[in-house]
């Protein structure tokens, strides 16, 4: 039987706190979503001032990163380079930059999705959260 790591609630809280701190330090109003390796929502937080739609986009970005085992940005780039048929990929709705997989010991254990500011800033927040695990 194979074994792999998984996100505990404590891990999720660490990621969320660090991501929130990064957003607040930069005065960015965002939504932060954390999912497990199957794309199931474990955490959703909409900071004061974040647009309501960001609470829909952040989980979609996280789910895409978790299920695809790569940053959601890569799907956006693929589509922008002309592979528009990828828009019909089943189960993937967050094909925008801002979803970052969480990797532990070579296993994707989940992902963070952020929405509300520039996509590179969304990624910055997500990566700051993930860095709290180390």
> 72: which 2 tokens?
């959601």
pLDDT at residue number 13:
98
Each residue's pLDDT expressed in tens, for the chain with a length of 134 residues: 989 999 999 999 999 999 999 999 999 999 999 999 999 999 999 999 999 999 999 999 999 999 999 999 999 999 999 999 988 988 889 999 999 999 999 999 999 999 999 999 999 999 999 999 98
User: What are the boundaries of each domain within the chain?
Assistant: 9-131
Measured distance CA(31)–CA(122) in Å, rounded: 9
Q: How many residues can be counted in the chain? A: 134
Characterize 60-85 residue by residue with b for buried, 16 or more Cβ atoms within 10 angstroms of its Cβ, and e for exposed.
bbbbbbbbbebbbbebbeebeeeeee
> Whole-model pTM above 0.75?
yes
Count the Cβ atoms, other than its own, within 10 Å of residue 86: 13
CATH 3.30.450.150 for the 9-131 domain, yes or no? yes
CA distance 72 to 133: 21
Residue 40 CB neighbour total at 10 angstroms: 12
């Amino acid at each position: 039987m194979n074994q792999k790591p998984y996100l505990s609630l404590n891990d999720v809280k660490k990621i969320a706190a660090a991501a929130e701190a990064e957003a607040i330090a930069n005065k960015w109003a965002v939504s932060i979503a954390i999912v497990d390796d199957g794309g199931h929502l474990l955490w959703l937080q909409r900071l004061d001032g974040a647009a309501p739609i960001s609470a829909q986009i952040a989980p979609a970005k996280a789910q895409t990163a978790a299920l695809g085992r790569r940053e959601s940005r890569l799907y956006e780039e693929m589509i922008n380079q002309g592979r528009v048929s990828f828009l019909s990929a089943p189960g993937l709705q967050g094909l925008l930059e801002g979803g970052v997989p969480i990797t532990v010991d070579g296993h994707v254990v989940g992902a963070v999705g952020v929405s509300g500011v520039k996509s590179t800033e969304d990624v910055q927040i997500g990566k700051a959260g993930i860095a709290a695990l180390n």
